[in-house]
Structure 1
Amino acid sequence: MVRLGQHLSLQMKQSPQQVLLSSLLQLPIMSLEQRLSMELEMNPLLEMDQEQELDEELEEKQEESLEEEDDDQVDEENIGEIEQEKQKEEIDWEEILNDQDTYDFRLPREKTEEENEHVEVQLESLIDHLISQLHMANLTPAEVVIGEYIIWNINNVGYLVADTETIAENLEEDIEAIESVLGVIQQFDPPGIGARNLQECLLVQLFQQQPQHELAIKMVRDHYEDFKNKRFERLARDLMVDLEAVKRTMDHITKLNPKPGEGYLSYSNNYIIPDIEVRKEDGEFKIYMHDFNVPQLRINNQYKKMMLDKKKTNKETRDFIRQRLESARWLINSIHQRRATILRTVQAIVEKQHDFFDLGPENLKPMILKDIADEIGMDISTISRVTNGKYIQTEYGVFELKYFFSEKYVTDDGEDVSNKKIKALIKDMVDNEPANKPYNDQKISEMLKREGFPVARRTVAKYREQMSIPVARLRRRI
């Protein structure tokens, strides 16, 4: 019955207040600051708390003084270092994607000055760009929740880093529903977004082209191994075309974008600013919100008086003020609700993962979104929005809130462990493997079984790919 109730709630049309709260919940702290600053400029019924405004003016003066000192210290050596860093970014598809391919893709042509300028002025994050398209798509509220979860699991290069089975388990949805929404997202701009590997990325782009290049689609879809290993003669024979056609088709494919997520601002490219901090004080865990820079908003009383003064204020102005007043109140209430929801969610996470916060990351327990949703009586969609893109400062470092959610794995002794522990073991094995004879997936599977973790070879391969660890033959060092 509980699940039925949650399902029905997702199908209901959200009120404007609920839409506002949902949008604020998914914003990391810096994005929230920007959003509220924008609201301050747009709505005259909002004003900043005077005490906070004075503090900010003092801070700005101090920062200006420091910036003047810093500007004097910039020299040619620093500029040279910046240029070297830019050159390091010029690497091929394989190296960036850690794809298990041996096909030597040609680097795309050099960008013109005009194109480079276009990339530099891109001021929107990839996540924001995708979520704005998601909300314009013809989807149900339940599908929007799935879409948001998928988008927050797309990396800076543009690839989906969580497998659809895990997403389905976390959101308690059918795998078919996840695949369906993923298919919608893969039609978004930029082309190739949301693919799970390089082959799918290329295919998504090829299918979007009009007219479609049928030979290129067949080559990537049906003969990918021969394609990536440049087996020209075999491709010509199997596709029943001449060598020139094979080479022309390969030229066409190598013009596609292997990194569709590039060119957008990234949350992870900036310094990570934790939204929350957990400290142990007097034997108890205390939770602190890092929202001291968030504008403290209040209603401008001068405009409220104008609205009530029918003699001096005409009806049109009063209606305008009334509308803005309602929006201002919704926003202020949503900010308070956002804060309370995040605190409740984090409190539940800390309680469920007590051993992690007390003893360290190796004590992470398996936990899914539903565990927290049931604990605090909220929808899974709310927990998903709270945990996406937000970070928590702990005694053991800074972690994304999503880190605390993982699949359950049962050992030979019947103990439930997090799949993150399995991944850590795999990484440790790879880090300490013989350089000239690295372990293949089957070998790692056998080693895990000896330690009491019966993990199938296919599961090892899946976890290895999620950690961007290449196959054994590509890890071999002489």
Structure 2
Amino acid sequence: MLKQNLQFKLSQKLSPQQIQLMKLIQLPTQAFEQRLKEEMNENPALEGGKEEDEYEDEYEKEEFDDYEEDEYDRIDAEDINIDEYLSDDETPEYKLQANNYSDDDEDRETPFAAPVTFHQDLINQLNTFILSEEDREIAEFLVGSIDDMGYIRRSVADIVDDLAFTQGIYTDEQAVERILHIVHELEPSGVGARDLQECLLLQLKHKTPTESVDLAIDIIENQFEQFTKKHYDKLLHKYGVSQDQLKKAIEEIEKLNPKPGGAFTGNNKMIEHVVPDFTIRIVEGELELLLNGRNAPELHVSKDYQDMLRTYKDSRDKSNAQKDAVQFIKQKLDSAKWFIDAIRQRQETLFVTMNAIMHYQQEFFLEGDETKLRPMILKDIADMIGLDISTVSRVANSKYVETPYGTKLIKEFFSESMKNDQGEDVSTLEIKKILQNVIEEEDKQKPLPDDQLAEILKEKGYPIARRTVAKYREQLDIPVARMRKKI
């Protein structure tokens, strides 16, 4: 049986322009510059240079925020008010220049040397060994099996099979083990190891033999599990050495690199440079906020495109080709003017949001003491500036601010609140900082377990449960008490 009913529904639909604006707001400085280049390449009506002055009042009245999906549907060329797209500005160019670039905003090109990759460096070292053709092929295959951390994560039996199936080299495990010992002679020490134990042993055996090094080799070779679990009492009893002797042996082990491949300075990894989107300075005891000048490009609408419309307006005979050109020009001019307006909105949104955060966390920015960070959630800032929570989130998640105390990710200033013993709201960041300080000051021979840490925090006025201490400790990437123990 068919039924028919009438239902009223209220829904909100974002225009394509609003969606694009949100995407622009989310972009950090470097990504924004790339997006700007793409737009200028795609839209010839958008040009860099001086900033265009106010548009004609008649054009300004167009509602960019209410574009419908058919905004760029074909309009009769005769219905286009060409005067809206023409500007008779006589404002001197120097008045439109934005001199808001600091020395730090200058474009500096850093020359990069073509690096030698980690594996190529190992191959180059192999070339110094005298090997038969087959042994060299096996050695190069082993080097190719080494991961970026410097390990071979496969068994010798699997390598023998792969050599046969992929390289047509028929050998046995003894031959591969023999070549593997040659690979273990390469630098950095420990490269080609099959596990952490072998990696540490290879590095120790490359050291000049001393009493401490010999003891360290014996510990890693024969008592590796006791060492990793830090059962120092059992090691003292096993070897019959003094505590000082064991301490020196452990210090030798702690100097080793568990990831020898990661230490290779010539590896071909990308180096990421953080470009701060904001800068906060302290000027005569007051906070000053600056938006990175690279977020405020100078753009204007192409005069050539406006001249094309003027030519069309003045011409008496308007051909179909000219009318089609007007449609194209109108679309590009609309897009260019909207993009310029969107960038201005982006600048304003970024500045207003960061300014609110700066004043909310004023104590921290003036003193640099992380315990002075106030509890702050996205809604607090959204309510202050009258924007949506999602907009504040887009600004906070991907932007950096340069402060007198280092460059920080903005979202790090947000935290939940907890009550202290006085009933006051304190930031979880403050509690984590105090927890970190307590652990740093503990006796490393007798590190504090989580229940004792909870008691100490309670004495300091922060009554939190042991499981909460464990959660915060893990978030700070601090191991359990047993793993923090030192002899």
TM-score (norm 1): 0.53
Query: What's the CA shift string for 1:236-255, capped at 9, x where partnerless?
Result: xxxxxxxxxxxxxxxxxxxx
SS in 2 for 1:13: coil
CA–CA separation in structure 2 for the residues paired with 1:109 and 1:427: 41
1:285 match: 287
1:430 match: 439
The one-letter amino acid paired with 2:18 is Q
Query: What's the CA shift string for 1:39-65, capped at 9, x where partnerless?
Result: 111111111106989x99xx9x9957x
1:113 match: none
- 1:294 positional shift: 5.4
CA–CA separation in structure 1 for the residues paired with 2:155 and 2:16: 47
Evaluate the alpha carbon distance shift between residue 293 and residue 452 of structure 1 in structure 2; reply closer, same or farther with a 3 A threshold. closer
CA contact (8 A) 2:29 2:294 kept: no
The one of 447, 451, 473 equivalent to 2:482 is 473
1:368 match: 377
CA contact (8 A) 1:355 1:364 kept: yes
The one-letter amino acid paired with 1:13 is K
The one-letter amino acid paired with 1:450 is E
Pair 1:451-2:468 in alignment: no
CA–CA separation in structure 1 for the residues paired with 2:287 and 2:480: 42
CA–CA separation in structure 2 for the residues paired with 1:45 and 1:279: 38
Query: What's the CA shift string for 1:358-417, capped at 9, x where partnerless?
Result: 222331111111111111111111111111111111222221111221111211122222
CA contact (8 A) 2:296 2:347 kept: no
The one-letter amino acid paired with 2:442 is E
Identity of aligned residues (%): 41
Q: How does 1:253-332 map to 2 (within 5 A)?
A: 270-292=272-294, 295-310=297-312, 311=318, 314-332=322-340
SS in 1 for 2:387: coil
1:355 match: 363
Evaluate the alpha carbon distance shift between residue 388 and residue 91 of structure 1 in structure 2; reply closer, same or farther with a 3 A threshold. farther
Evaluate the alpha carbon distance shift between residue 370 and residue 445 of structure 1 in structure 2; reply closer, same or farther with a 3 A threshold. same
CA–CA separation in structure 2 for the residues paired with 1:71 and 1:17: 43
CA–CA separation in structure 1 for the residues paired with 2:277 and 2:293: 7
Unaligned runs of 5+ in 2: 1-8, 51-93, 125-145, 157-228, 230-268, 313-317
SS in 1 for 2:461: coil
State how many pairs are aligned: 289
1:183 match: none
Pair 1:401-2:410 in alignment: yes
SS in 2 for 1:277: strand
SS in 1 for 2:422: coil
SS in 2 for 1:287: strand
CA–CA separation in structure 2 for the residues paired with 1:318 and 1:369: 46
Evaluate the alpha carbon distance shift between residue 63 and residue 287 of structure 1 in structure 2; reply closer, same or farther with a 3 A threshold. closer
Pair 1:15-2:15 in alignment: yes
SS in 2 for 1:393: strand
CA contact (8 A) 2:295 2:347 kept: no
Unaligned runs of 5+ in 1: 1-7, 93-105, 111-228, 230-264
SS in 2 for 1:327: helix
CA–CA separation in structure 2 for the residues paired with 1:293 and 1:382: 17
SS in 1 for 2:44: coil
CA–CA separation in structure 2 for the residues paired with 1:474 and 1:107: 26
Is the radius of gyration larger for structure 1 or structure 2? 2
CA–CA separation in structure 2 for the residues paired with 1:445 and 1:292: 47
Evaluate the alpha carbon distance shift between residue 32 and residue 300 of structure 1 in structure 2; reply closer, same or farther with a 3 A threshold. same
Query: What's the CA shift string for 1:74-103, capped at 9, x where partnerless?
Result: 999xx989x9xxx996189xxxxxxxxxxx
SS in 2 for 1:439: coil
Query: What's the CA shift string for 1:326-353, capped at 9, x where partnerless?
Result: 2212211111001111111111112211
CA–CA separation in structure 1 for the residues paired with 2:148 and 2:419: 41
CA contact (8 A) 1:29 1:291 kept: no
Evaluate the alpha carbon distance shift between residue 465 and residue 91 of structure 1 in structure 2; reply closer, same or farther with a 3 A threshold. farther
Q: How does 1:124-139 map to 2 (within 5 A)?
A: none
CA contact (8 A) 2:33 2:294 kept: no
The one-letter amino acid paired with 1:328 is A
- 1:316 positional shift: 2.4
2:347 match: 339
CA–CA separation in structure 2 for the residues paired with 1:369 and 1:272: 23
Pair 1:41-2:41 in alignment: yes
Q: How does 1:28-427 map to 2 (within 5 A)?
A: 28-49=28-49, 67=111, 90=149, 107=153, 270-292=272-294, 295-310=297-312, 311=318, 314-361=322-369, 362-427=371-436
- 1:34 positional shift: 0.9
